[in-house]
Amino acid sequence: MSKNEPRLNLTDVIMLVSGSMIGSGIFIVSKDMMLALGSPFWVLMCWLLSGVITLFAALSYGELAAMMPEAGGQFVFLKKTFGNLTAFVYGWTVFLVIQTGVIAAVAVAFAKYLGVIFPSISEENGIHIGSFFISVSQFVAILSIITLTAIHTKGIKNGTLIQRVFTISKLLALFVLIVLAFTKLGSGNYFSQNFSDLTSAVNYNEEKNVSTPLNGLSIFVFLGTALIGALFSSDAWNNVTFLSAEIKNPQRNLPLGLSLGVFIVTILYILANIAYFILLPAMGDATAATPEGLGIRFADHGRVATAALNTFFGNTSIYIMAILIVVSTFGCNNGLILAGSRLFQSMANNNLFFKQAGEVNKFNVPSKSLWIQCLWASLLCLTGSYGQLLAYATFSSLIFYIVTIIALFVLRKKEPDTPRPYKAWGYPIIPMLYIIITSLICLDLLIFDPKNSILGVVIILLGIPVYFLFSKKQNTAS
């Protein structure tokens, strides 16, 4: 079994939390939210609710992380509370779709926007190997994962340095976009027009060109659907718990870093969307010839942030935003790759994953775990688009967030005397609210996105027979 040395301070924790959260979502998902709700007010409520829900979860995770500052984080919480089976099924799902699926999705987005700068990087260009075709875009996505993995095998300092540089860069870029937008509040902006009517909402089906007014229950149904984009633009905040054993003074720095990281990103996301509503018409015109005329609802390829910057920089904004998203996605994947390997290392050290994944190299990092993760994430890059890959991870990820918050209640009952350096703020109301709200979102997904939701359930359930097969093999080997 390997030993991890504490090297990460509070700043590193905050950078990992916020850097892993900010990928490409904040720059594009507002279009889909406007299509779902047709209301700037309700879109902002979505972002606010998403931030509050995520903060509720972070506050609850803080207690568990401070109690059990061990490599593997969420895996360890579930193992201690519910035993090996639940922990394995979680780790199985994380490996199969959640962590690796998001890494692949972010890498696909990285390659897509790098293709804006270098047009030869596209889905159309590529090579045929027999009947198999790999595009240049897919190759670049895979290459980005391999590059970051190789960097992380040389020691944790390299990864944390990249995380700091790239996270600070994208935080500053978002801040500049917000400041630029707010300079237009005095005149020549769309804010008053966009918020002249706070009550009406309308769902628009882009494929069928059909608008449906929303009221009462229907607003909350589509609010749940729209919320998915906001939630997954805010996801991966929990990844830092996988690195618990490498954090200095984890009893203080984990809960504080989790809360501050989530809070900073939530504020920036809300302000960024206000910036969009200042610079662009919310509803827009599908027949318009300019990015500004198309507005948020009809933004070309969902590039809302690009359209917003277009009001300042014209066509150059396409390249400015492409560079920003390339930086953002590269930094995001840096944190995801760093953290994910520690979870699989912890599983291996608990005899619930390939034994080799628990080994560390001369730089004291789990290099084999990193390469196993790299291999599977790279294969996933060949299976689908950004949206498809995220859809695979959505439902199952939410399920395990709920199960982990339930663990907080179980451990309060089961181990009341265990030292808790930090106790979840607002317990039991805040954790219970998280469970209720997230359960309703899962129900909404089951009804309105049954294909991907049921696939998520199937992947989770498949982990049960795999666990028993794996356990049997381990016992035979022993």
**What is the band of 47 on the pLDDT scale with cuts at 50, 70, 90?**
very high
> Which among 287, 351, 370 is positioned nearest to 87, based on CA atoms?
351
Above 90 in pLDDT, residue 435?
yes
Above 70 in pLDDT, residue 465?
yes
The residue among 73 and 224 whose pLDDT is bigger is 73
φ, ψ for residue 318 (rounded to 5)?
-60, -40
The mean pLDDT value for 22-46 works out to 93
> Which among 15, 3, 12 is positioned nearest to 261, based on CA atoms?
15
DSSP state of 4: P
pLDDT of the residue at 219: 87
> Which among 75, 103, 159, 80 is positioned nearest to 346, based on CA atoms?
75
If you write DSSP's letter for every residue of 417-428 in order, what string do you get? TS--SS--TTTT
Q: What is the pLDDT of residues 244-268, one digit of tens each?
A: 999 999 999 999 999 999 999 999 9
φ, ψ for residue 134 (rounded to 5)?
-120, 125
The mean pLDDT value for 169-195 works out to 90
> What does pTM read for this prediction?
0.91
Above 80 in pLDDT, residue 272?
yes
Residue 5 domain-assigned (yes or no): no
pLDDT of the residue at 223: 87
pLDDT of the residue at 379: 95
Domain that holds residue 290: 10-477
pLDDT of the residue at 199: 81
Above 50 in pLDDT, residue 326?
yes
For residue 120, the number of C-alpha atoms closer than 13 Å in the C-beta half-sphere is 1
How many structural domains compose the chain? 1
Q: What value does the mean pLDDT of the chain take? A: 92
Give the span between the Cα atoms of 51 and 203, in whole angstroms: 23
Residue 4 domain-assigned (yes or no): no
Above 50 in pLDDT, residue 342?
yes
The mean pLDDT value for 85-102 works out to 94
**What is the band of 277 on the pLDDT scale with cuts at 50, 70, 90?**
very high
pLDDT of the residue at 146: 98
Place of tokens 């079994």: 1
Q: Poorest-confidence range of 55-59, 160-164, 208-212?
A: 208-212
Residue 23 token pair: 């990928």
Quick one: what percent of the chain has pLDDT higher than 70?
Answer: 97
**What is the band of 1 on the pLDDT scale with cuts at 50, 70, 90?**
very low
Q: Poorest-confidence range of 14-23, 40-49, 111-120, 191-200?
A: 191-200
Residues 6+ apart with CB under 8 A from 279: 181, 184, 189, 190, 292, 307, 308, 311
CATH number at residue 438: 1.20.1740.10
> Which among 346, 315, 302 is positioned nearest to 112, based on CA atoms?
302
Residue 72 domain-assigned (yes or no): yes
DSSP state of 296: T
pLDDT of the residue at 220: 84
Q: What is the pLDDT of residues 343-380, one digit of tens each?
A: 999 999 999 999 999 999 999 999 999 999 999 999 99
**What is the band of 215 on the pLDDT scale with cuts at 50, 70, 90?**
confident
Above 80 in pLDDT, residue 473?
no
The three-state secondary structure class of 383 is coil
Residue 247's DSSP bridge partners are 8
The mean pLDDT value for 317-343 works out to 95
The residue among 210 and 385 whose pLDDT is bigger is 210
pLDDT of the residue at 197: 86
